[in-house]
Amino acid sequence: MSKTIIITGGAGFIGSHVVRLFVTKYPSYKIVNLDALTYAGNLENLRDIEQSPNYYFEKVNILDADSLNEVFQTHQPDGVIHLAAESHVDRSILSPLDFVYTNVIGTVNLLNAAKQFWKNDFNGKRFYHVSTDEVYGALGETGFFTETTKYDPHSPYSASKASSDHFVRAYHDTYDLPVVISNCSNNYGPNHFPEKLIPLFINNIIQQKPLPVYGDGLYTRDWLFVKDHATAIDLVFHKGKNGDTYNIGGFNEWKNIDLVKLLCQLMDKKLGRQPGESEKLITYIQDRPGHDRRYAIDATKINKELGWYPSVTFEEGLAQTIDWYFENQEWLKHVTSGAYKQYYERQYSK
Ligand code: NAD
Ligand code: TYD
């Protein structure tokens, strides 16, 4: 069956993997990548598929409601998969309003565009909102986030994502807009912007720069390979129940310091350095304010209802990720030039 889907944020980290999966797996679909190309958006992520006949790109900011309406008129979508967002917690602490604009107002603009274009005839339509487990707040030593865990966001980033989730549900409850939401744990993999823990530390290890571990390093995250998130998004988009939420996780919890040490070992091998050499770069620095102690997803629902489970182990995924960064040093150079340097200075020279 043929479909037209607008994927927002398709030039970013997760979005580029979702666009690639849909463009290659569904040649009969028309895939429209709608992205403003902020610092985090990079069309280099999609060079291998940009010539595909079913791929289209629209450089549009989701804050621009008129341009959104035009794109809907031009492409006549049946579905939206919404990933465009400001996504980094540390940047949200520096400039919270950017997160309110894009994540909250941008999402409402997109909901309005879909509702208006579909003219309340929602048969065969779907608005899929991609969200994060960070909306649930922090866990102690035990327990997991389920789909019914109460929202308790602590950072401006997670507060803005929580707000956007509420708006998506409100459009379902108020206007019957056919929506589905997923809340996923921390992703890692190729094309990850080097402001987040894993790609930042890979880049710093290559350059023998300090590895800035926040606080005591005992914070825990549940890591999922980005391509496994993309396959989950494919399933939820096609088979998820209208109005439902699905939690997506890696069944893979790591304390930051243990993960950093593993990364150092793998990188020493890759770089032909002495065992233990990169660990010497570990530097404990002042903690992130409002830092959530532990995230862990209970992904039973998507496992049982949609048959999804991560396909790679952490060791395999991490090895593929490291290989990708070694093979794509030009990409790394491009994204760490210019404005990145100013961000890095501001964030880490405190
Ligand atoms: P990213 O920062 O790598 O990419 C975001 C993309 O959105 C970029 O291409 C950027 O240009 C685009 N964008 C930003 N503001 C825009 C605007 N105003 N208009 C149009 N485009 C805009 O983010 P990511 O890590 O790929 O995350 C994608 C989505 O998945 C986000 O909604 C995020 O909240 C969610 N998520 C991320 C993770 C993770 O670990 N990275 C985990 C769970 C959920
Ligand atoms: P991050 O990749 O920013 O994802 P999130 O905050 O959305 O979970 O951070 C992952 C963990 O790594 C988090 O506990 C914060 C920590 N961290 C550091 O210790 N140092 C750093 O420089 C960064 C970016 C993160």
Domains of the chain: 4-192+223-253+294-313 (3.40.50.720)
Q: What pLDDT score was predicted for residue 350?
A: 72
* Among candidate residues 254, 296, 293, 294, the one with its CA nearest the CA of residue 145: 296
List all residues whose CB is within 6 A of at least one atom of ligand 1: 8-9, 11-15, 35-38, 40-41, 61-63, 83-87, 102, 106, 130, 132, 161, 184, 186-187, 193
Q: Which of 58, 78, 134, 195 is catalytic?
A: 134
Active-site residue, 90 included? no
Q: Is any ligand 2 atom within 6 A of the Cβ of residue 214?
A: yes
The rounded Å distance from CA 274 to ligand 2 centre is 26
The three-state secondary structure class of 127 is strand
Structure tokens at 11: 């030039």
Structure tokens at 137: 């707040």
Give the phi and the psi of residue 288 in degrees, each rounded to 5.
Answer: -70, 130
- Give every CB contact of residue 31 below 8 A, 6+ residues apart in sequence: 5, 7, 10, 19, 22, 23, 54, 55, 56
End-to-end C-alpha distance for the chain, whole angstroms: 55
Report yes or no: 156 and 96 within 8 Å, Cβ to Cβ.
yes
Q: What pLDDT score was predicted for residue 318?
A: 97
Q: What pLDDT score was predicted for residue 317?
A: 97
Q: What pLDDT score was predicted for residue 120?
A: 80
- Please report the sign of the dihedral spanned by the C-alpha atoms of residue 238, residue 244, residue 245, residue 250: negative
Q: Which of 35, 133, 165, 292 is catalytic?
A: 133
- The residue with tokens 């794109």 is 71
pTM over 0.75: yes
- Give, for 30, the enclosing helix (H) or strand (E): strand 30-35
Active-site residue, 133 included? yes
Q: What pLDDT score was predicted for residue 133?
A: 98
Report yes or no: 284 and 260 within 8 Å, Cβ to Cβ.
no
The three-state secondary structure class of 292 is coil
Residue 195, CB-side half-sphere exposure with 13 Å CA sphere:
24
* Among candidate residues 249, 193, 259, the one with its CA nearest the CA of residue 225: 249
Q: Which of 29, 157, 171, 246 is catalytic?
A: 157
| Helices and strands per DSSP (H, E), number in the chain | 13, 12
The one-character DSSP state at 104 is: I
- CA 108-248-104 angle, to 5 degrees, is 15
Q: What pLDDT score was predicted for residue 338?
A: 87
The rounded Å distance from CA 77 to ligand 1 centre is 21
DSSP labels for 213-256? Answer: EETTS--EEEEEEHHHHHHHHHHHHHHSPTT-EEEE--S-EEEH
The one-character DSSP state at 281 is: G
Q: Which atom of ligand 2 is nearest to the CA of 195?
A: 24
pLDDT of the chain, 350 residues: tens digit per residue: 799 999 999 999 999 999 999 999 999 999 999 999 999 999 999 999 999 999 999 999 999 999 999 999 999 999 999 999 999 999 999 999 999 999 999 999 999 999 999 998 999 999 999 999 999 999 999 999 999 999 999 999 999 999 999 999 999 999 999 999 999 999 999 999 999 999 999 999 999 999 999 999 999 999 999 999 999 999 999 999 999 999 999 999 999 999 999 999 999 999 999 999 999 999 999 999 999 999 999 999 999 999 999 999 999 999 999 999 999 999 999 999 989 999 999 999 87
Mutate to test the pocket of ligand 1, among 6, 7, 13, 59 (most ligand atoms within 8 A of CB): 13
Mutate to test the pocket of ligand 2, among 135, 185, 196 (most ligand atoms within 8 A of CB): 196
Q: What pLDDT score was predicted for residue 349?
A: 87
- Please report the sign of the dihedral spanned by the C-alpha atoms of residue 208, residue 210, residue 214, residue 215: positive
Q: What pLDDT score was predicted for residue 330?
A: 93
Question: How many other C-beta atoms lie within 10 A of the C-beta of residue 12?
Answer: 26
How far CA 112 is from CA of 65, 205, 268, in Å, comes to: 8, 45, 50
How far CA 51 is from CA of 7, 20, 237, 264, 269, in Å, comes to: 17, 12, 24, 38, 37
From the number of C-beta atoms within 10 Å of its C-beta (0-12, 13-18, 19+), residue 316 rates as exposed
What span, in angstroms and rounded, lies between the C-alpha atoms of 164 and 256?
Answer: 28
Report yes or no: 31 and 56 within 8 Å, Cβ to Cβ.
yes
* Residue of minimum CA distance from atom 11 in ligand 2: 197
